[in-house]
Amino acid sequence: MNYAEELAYWYLRLNGFFPISNFVVHKSSLVSHTSDIDLLAIRPPFVYEEVGGQPQDWDAYLTGKLDFNRLIGVVCEVKSGSFEDEKLFRSDHLRYTLSRLGLVSPKNIEQALAGLSQSATLEVDGGTLVAKLLASSTEGRDGPYLSRSLSQMEDFLAERVNRYQVRKYGDRMFFPSNMFQLIIAQVHRQIAQRNL
């Protein structure tokens, strides 16, 4: 993963999702060439953790857009440079990932695909929610997707570490991400400097 994908990964993870990075979209009868989706993520409705997994810990943007009381699947594209909107969330990739997420029955895939082509979120089988999320270097992007900038994601991570800084700093080496360990160390240093 590059740094932008890692930011998006940890943003989703610290919002109660279980993400998979660089999901391979194989060339097949409906996909013209092999590619990948930056992140797929699933969030069950009853996520809880004493350190950093309580309702006040979630990003207000996401809780305003998604109902965290239901099962949620997210398809996330990450763009750290320039890109074209029409190349985001390609229908052949969405069809493939909707099937792989397993949250939409095969008979409803085309209907779900049509709904997601016009909307950022869609209620599918059994009340499950599926969403498209763009993580990019630009704030306030509009489109048929949810949008968070990389700086907003980084700020969210730093705020979460700050809220639980004693535990996060003490446990920093258990996180399998050099980038996230660095964010924890930076927040710890900022707090130490303020207390001098």
When pLDDT is averaged across residues 48-69 and rounded to a whole number, the result is 96
Question: Bridge-partner residues for 154, per DSSP?
Answer: none
Alpha carbons within 13 angstroms on the beta-carbon side of residue 161 total: 27
pLDDT confidence of 118, banded at 50, 70, 90? very high
Strand ranges inside the chain, DSSP E: 18-25, 35-43, 72-79, 121-123, 129-136, 146-149
Is 115 a member of any domain? Answer: yes
Record the pTM.
0.94
Q: Residue 96 falls within a domain, yes or no?
A: yes
Distance CA 93, CA 160 (A): 32
Flag whether pLDDT at 129 surpasses 80: yes
The verdict on residue 80 lying in a domain is yes
Q: Cα separation of 91 and 144, whole Å?
A: 13
67 pLDDT more than 90: yes
User: Is the pLDDT at 195 greater than 90, yes or no?
Assistant: no
Q: Is residue 37 one of the residues assigned to a domain?
A: yes
DSSP state of 28: B
**Domain presence at residue 48:** yes
For residues 94 and 73, give the distance between their C-alpha atoms in angstroms, rounded to a whole number: 12
User: Can you give the residue range of the structural domain that contains 9?
Assistant: 3-150
Has residue 17 been placed in a domain?
yes
In a domain, 170, yes or no: no
Provide mean pLDDT across the span 115-135.
Answer: 95
Domains in the chain, number: 1
DSSP string, 32-75: SS-EEEEEEEEE-TT--BTTTBSGGGS-HHHHHHS-TTS-EEEE
Q: Quick check: is 85 in a domain?
A: yes
Average pLDDT across the chain, whole number: 93
Q: What is the pLDDT of residues 144-172, one digit of tens each?
A: 999 999 999 999 999 999 999 999 999 99
Q: Which of 68, 67, 73, 121 is nearest to 97 (CA)?
A: 73
